[in-house]
């Protein structure tokens, strides 16, 4: 691994992980804290190296000097592998074909790393902290495990990889279902680090102007800083150099979507569909675009197709439900709530919108039940209280309607609809026929 001023990470998480490995090597690029002494006390072989804006040069230091094992696993200082995943990796390496020299592992980048607390290598296998789906993680593949060989070396001054050197030997790279946890660099990033990376990427594209990936990475960097025109140029350059660079097509679609060039964005997402891992996200984005273009039936088709390709189906089902609401098709919309319940918690939005659909479908008893569940969960949720009061008045349940209106006016004394509804309730109590309540409020 590469390290620089990683004393907190070593004390908090790395110390237990390092003890698991028989041969650990670190290249220190200028620490001014206790990083080096802590690592040496843990038995890590530490090499000092003056960083020269080239990550490959720094990583190749430990490949050139110390590494003698059959396989190399490269982890950053903000990453760890738990016991269950490490055992899977060891078993995989024992059975991998001789033609395979590199393994791409799954990296889960967590947005709330504080959830891990004091890292324990021996987390239980079913610990929810190790479940990316429960922690809002972003997943990606990265080639970080490879055979130790004198001709396998990193290339690229940034986003460095041994990919090319493996292929040049006529060897294969496989994907392994092994999970690495990364908790150190959130998507919002650190501006100083991001600016430094951007400068290195600009240097890389100057050095390798015929390679697509550096332009793609630079496009991501420009997108981070909201430099959409520059990002668009980089992604277009990437796909011009490599027509089947589907991830670049996908991000080009996102950029054009942000720039309101909707038809062009649709074409980009359509290109990205050729890559199976991108199909779900691409179909979803095509649905969003068709909604924007008021092509509602096409939007629904894309959303439904995307359900066959995405693991987290909840956000897609919500789009379908909103489409059904827009059409006023409450009966068919209710069918989707049964699927949604399998994907999302029965939280306030779920309870409230299910109540709205029951009301829209004329199923007032069910609507009352779910509006009631909503304000029991959130007593200050005025829309659920108001709609509950409207329906109870319609059902001639005057007492329940009055109590709900009183709660609303306690929360918001100036709520005009509630004041009007209170007048209708009083008319009912004096024997005058109330005005028919309107449709449920959103």
Report the pLDDT averaged over residues 164-169: 95
Asked if residue 438 has pLDDT above 70, the reply is no
The predicted-structure confidence for 184-193, as pLDDT tens digits, reads as follows 654 444 567 7
Q: What mean pLDDT is predicted for residues 42-66?
A: 89
Q: Is the pLDDT of residue 442 over 70?
A: no
Read off the pLDDT of each residue in 310-320 and give the average, rounded to a whole number: 88
In this prediction, residues 237-249 reach a mean pLDDT of 96
Domain 345-429 -> CATH class:
mainly alpha
- Of residues 9 and 245, the one with the higher pLDDT is 245
Q: Where is pLDDT greater, at 258 or 129?
A: 258
Label residue 81 by pLDDT band (50, 70, 90).
Answer: confident
Task: Give me the chain's average pLDDT, please.
Answer: 87
pLDDT surpassing 90 at residue 84: no
pLDDT computed for residue 140 by the predictor: 81
The CATH architecture that domain 2-182 belongs to is Alpha-Beta Complex (3.90)
Tokens found for residue 66? 């110390």
> Does the model's pTM come out above 0.75?
no
Residue scoring higher pLDDT (10 or 67): 10
Structure confidence by residue, pLDDT tens digits, 2-35: 998 888 878 776 776 776 677 888 999 999 999 9
Say what the pLDDT of residue 436 is.
47
Same CATH topology for 2-182 and 345-429: the answer is: no
109-154 pLDDT, tens digit per residue, is: 775 544 444 444 443 444 444 455 555 567 788 999 999 999 999 9
% residues pLDDT > 70 (the chain): 88
The residues spanned by each domain of the chain are: 2-182, 345-429
| Residues in Cβ contact with 271 at an 8 Å cutoff, skipping those fewer than 6 apart | 239, 246, 249
Q: Mean pLDDT throughout 422-427?
A: 92
pLDDT in tens, 333-390: 999 998 898 888 888 999 999 999 999 999 999 999 999 999 999 999 999 999 999 9
């Amino acid at each position: 691994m590469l390290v620089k001023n990683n004393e907190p990470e070593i004390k908090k998480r790395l110390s237990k992980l390092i003890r698991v490995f028989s041969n650990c090597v670190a290249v220190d690029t200028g620490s001014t804290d206790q990083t080096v002494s802590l690592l040496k006390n843990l038995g890590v072989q530490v090499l000092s190296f003056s960083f020269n804006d080239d990550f490959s040069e720094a990583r190749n230091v430990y490949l050139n000097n110390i590494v003698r094992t059959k396989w190399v696993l490269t982890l950053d200082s903000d990453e760890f592998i738990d016991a269950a995943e490490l055992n899977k990796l060891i078993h995989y390496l024992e059975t991998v074909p001789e033609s395979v020299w590199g393994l791409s592992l799954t990296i889960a980048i967590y947005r709330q790393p504080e959830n891990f607390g004091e890292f324990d290598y021996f987390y239980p296998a079913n610990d929810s902290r190790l479940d990316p789906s429960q922690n809002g993680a972003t997943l990606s593949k990265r080639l970080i495990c490879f055979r130790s060989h004198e001709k396998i070396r990193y290339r690229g001054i940034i986003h460095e990889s041994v990919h090319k050197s493996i292929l040049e030997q006529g060897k294969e790279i496989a994907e392994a279902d092994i999970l690495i946890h990364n908790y150190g660099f959130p998507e919002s990033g650190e501006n100083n680090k991001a600016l430094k990376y951007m400068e290195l990427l600009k240097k890389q594209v100057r050095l390798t102007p015929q390679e697509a990936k550096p332009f793609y990475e630079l496009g991501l960097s420009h997108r981070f800083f909201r430099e959409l025109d520059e990002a668009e140029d980089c992604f277009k350059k990437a796909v011009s150099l490599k027509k089947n660079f589907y991830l670049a097509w996908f991000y080009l679609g996102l950029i054009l979507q942000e720039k309101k060039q909707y038809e062009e964005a649709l074409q980009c997402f359509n290109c990205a569909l050729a890559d199976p891992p991108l199909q779900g996200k691409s179909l979803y984005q095509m649905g969003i675009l068709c909604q924007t273009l008021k092509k509602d039936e096409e939007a629904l088709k894309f959303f439904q197709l995307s359900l066959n390709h995405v693991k987290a189906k909840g956000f897609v089902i919500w789009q379908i439900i909103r489409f059904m609401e827009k059409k006023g098709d409450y009966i068919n919309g209710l069918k989707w709530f049964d699927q949604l319940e399998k994907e999302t918690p029965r939280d306030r939005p779920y309870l409230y919108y299910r109540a709205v659909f029951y009301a829209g479908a004329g199923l007032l008893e069910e609507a009352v039940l779910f509006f009631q569940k909503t304000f029991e969960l959130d007593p200050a949720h005025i829309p659920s209280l108001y709609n509950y009061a409207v329906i109870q008045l319609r059902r001639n349940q005057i007492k329940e309607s009055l109590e709900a209106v009183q709660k609303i006016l306690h929360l918001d004394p100036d709520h005009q609809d509630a004041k009007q509804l209170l007048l209708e309730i009083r008319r009912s109590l004096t024997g005058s026929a109330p005005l028919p309540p309107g449709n449920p409020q959103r």
